[in-house]
Chain A
Amino acid sequence: MKISKDTVNHVANLARLELIEEEKERFILDMEKIISYFDKLSNLDTSEIKPTEHVIPITNVFRDDKVCNSYDREMMLMNAPSKEKGCFKVPKIME
């Protein structure tokens, strides 16, 4: 299973990661080995099998629509790398 540099670049971009060239070479080699091994799943006939997402049967776990559990704003902002006027500060999004 060959993986192209374009594929790695594309996937890294989707994951909001950037790899340096040396890292990329190494990653490609590792990924090819790993994914080739994982390809053995294609030996299994799963055409009639339903996928399992949850191991315990749970659906629509909701709580009552009541106000509770409010955390202190200052406490929530304590770990923020950048903040102003009680908000998280972010770089400009729109030009």
Chain B
Amino acid sequence: MEIHKLTVREMRGLIKDKKVSAVELTQAMFDRIAEIDWKINSYITLLKDEALMRAREVQERIDKGKAKSALSAVPMAVKDNICTRGIKTTCASKMLENFVPPYDATVVKKLYLEDSVLLGKLNMDEFAMGSSTENSYLKITRNPWDLERVSGGSSGGDAAAVAAGLTGFALGSDTGGSIRQSAAFCGVVGIKPTYGAVSRFGLVAFASSLDQIGAVARDVTDCALVLNTITGYDSMDSTSAKVEYPDYTGALINDVRGIKVGIPKEYIGQGTNPEVKKAVLDAVEILRRLGAECEEFSLPMTEYAIPAYYIISSAEASSNFARYDGIRYGYRAENYSNLLDLYKKTRSEGFGTEVKRRIILGTYFLSEGYYDAYYKKALKVRTLIRKDFDDAFKKYDVVLGPTTPTTAFKIGEKRDNPLKMYLGDTYTVSANIAGLPALSIPCGFDSNNLPIGLQLIGRHFDEKTLLRVSYAFEQNTGFHKIKTGVRA
């Protein structure tokens, strides 16, 4: 039985029916990881002994009639910028290479309470800065569909591990598209919830007004199951939203009649690869046939999203990263002459090139003489982008388009051109800027057999509509069932 191809729901079914034990399931995952992950490099840290011990504990609880939740005994993996107590959390950076958090992130605590089994920590772009996982200090994660290509970023480890069957589901973070873009490149489902819906306590901060933790899984149902656990108000996060959080599985209805879908013209223009555009338009046709009302419209602020995003995120990052000073945790330079020198050497030696680039850009945008023209301007443009979407949601329930302009590019292809790398985020950043929920689902393949992702953006706290439309699309197509052929 190819256990690694199963969805979370299917794994739970086998556990409930006593066809497989928690230990057998966990062992099967590690066997698969040992067989395959040397080719893909999705994991930074593996926790085999701990996971098997935990699986034994969970099985005991199951045998006593406990541990019955939707995620009990399900193997999970977590992006390495989410704190796990007692377990190295490196953010794929030299700066935190040996950092062991003294506390668990809220989302990790919640998943432990559901009796999920943590397999390990996943690779990413250093400090979540990047769109290819090539910026990891430790290793590059390869795309399971074509090992010469990137798995996307910054949650490349997440998406690759889920696509290759190296975990049941994964927790990632998304600041400008990190979950959705990687999910699109690897042919899996990735969701970024509404800003404030998932606690950021324990997520190593990159850009505090944009960061969100989300889920990567093999289908929409699995994402809904994870969302049920990770969403919710948390007093430890001052940006956590005190709203009603529903049972997201209630949204899994195969019916989109009357749902209004808007497709921004700017998302399917010249900037998008023709095969990607065709897959998206085919998806629109399918939704139309299923009864959704689809039409094109204009989102005029689209071309300003990348500058606004990179100015805001770099500025917030430059401020957040001031904490890496070699004093309380993390890397410290060995040779320095005084305190200022300690700071400079620690930070210059501890951070990679892209991180330094963003910190310098961010500091520049916040510095005297440039603050108004850049940072303040970007915050005003943020208001305009928000209004663009508010207007759209007066007419439509969902804004739909490609997740990315292209499919996965080759490793090294964009390495020397940071601006080109940034522009690949054009369709994903707006959801972070406006705080809207968004997800990516597989909708086809290009002529190189690379996955194409369809992105849906919804109103604040309306994850249910996104799940509903994606679920209906999934049930009527089946792209999520096509698995990669990665062999030992």
Contact surface of A with B, Cβ cutoff 8 Å: 7-8, 10-12, 14-19, 23, 27, 30-31, 33-35, 37-38, 40-42, 44, 46, 49-56, 58, 61, 63, 71-72, 75-76, 78-82, 88, 90-93
Residue in B102, B326, B434 whose beta carbon sits within 8 Å of that of A76 in the complex: B102
What residues on A are CB-neighbors of B362 within 8 Å?
15
Q: Mark B332-375, 1 if CB is under 8 A from A, else 0.
A: 10001011101111011001010011011111100100000110
Supposing A30-B418, A40-B303, A55-B435 touch, asked if A14 and B367 sit within 8 A by C-beta, the answer is yes
Name the residue among A8, A27, A41, A56 with the largest chain B CB count within 10 angstroms: A56
What residues on A are CB-neighbors of B138 within 8 Å?
none
- Contacting pair A78 B102 (CB below 8 A): yes
Complex CA–CA separation, A35 to B363 (angstroms): 13
Q: How far is the CB of B117 from chain A (nearest CB, A)?
A: 25
Supposing A40-B303, A41-B377 touch, asked if A88 and B338 sit within 8 A by C-beta, the answer is no
Supposing A18-B348, A30-B357, A91-B342 touch, asked if A52 and B311 sit within 8 A by C-beta, the answer is no
Q: Which 9 pairs from chain A and chain B are nearest by CB?
A: A55-B435, A51-B379, A79-B329, A81-B332, A46-B380, A38-B307, A61-B238, A16-B343, A15-B363
Residue in B336, B379, B434 whose beta carbon sits within 8 Å of that of A53 in the complex: B379
Dominant secondary structure of chain A at its interface with chain B: loop
Complex CA–CA separation, A70 to B165 (angstroms): 40
Contact surface of B with A, Cβ cutoff 8 Å: 98-100, 102-103, 195-196, 209, 235, 238-239, 241, 303-304, 306-308, 310-311, 318, 322, 325-332, 336, 338-340, 342-345, 347-348, 351, 353, 356-357, 359-364, 367, 373-374, 376-384, 386, 418-419, 422, 433-435, 460
Q: How far is the CB of A16 from chain B (nearest CB, A)?
A: 4
- Contacting pair B363 A14 (CB below 8 A): yes
Supposing A18-B344, A52-B383 touch, asked if A71 and B363 sit within 8 A by C-beta, the answer is no
What residues on A are CB-neighbors of B381 within 8 Å?
41, 44, 46
Complex CA–CA separation, A88 to B304 (angstroms): 45
Q: How far is the CB of A46 from chain B (nearest CB, A)?
A: 4
- Contacting pair B102 A33 (CB below 8 A): no
What residues on B are CB-neighbors of A7 within 8 Å?
364
Dominant secondary structure of chain B at its interface with chain A: helix
CB closest residue in chain A, given B98: A79
Name the residue among A38, A54, A88 with the largest chain B CB count within 10 angstroms: A38
What are 10 residue pairs bridging A and B, where the CB atoms are less than 8 Å apart in the complex?
A: A7-B364, A11-B367, A30-B418, A34-B418, A46-B383, A46-B384, A50-B383, A58-B239, A72-B102, A81-B331
Residue in A10, A17, A56 whose beta carbon sits within 8 Å of that of B356 in the complex: A17
Q: How far is the CB of A20 from chain B (nearest CB, A)?
A: 8
- Contacting pair A34 B360 (CB below 8 A): no
- Contacting pair B382 A51 (CB below 8 A): yes
Residue in B196, B307, B347, B361 whose beta carbon sits within 8 Å of that of A40 in the complex: B307
Q: A37-B307, A78-B100 are in contact. List 19 more A-B contacts (CB 8 A).
A: A10-B367, A11-B363, A15-B318, A15-B347, A15-B359, A16-B322, A16-B340, A16-B344, A19-B348, A19-B356, A33-B419, A37-B306, A46-B381, A50-B383, A52-B382, A55-B435, A72-B102, A76-B102, A80-B328
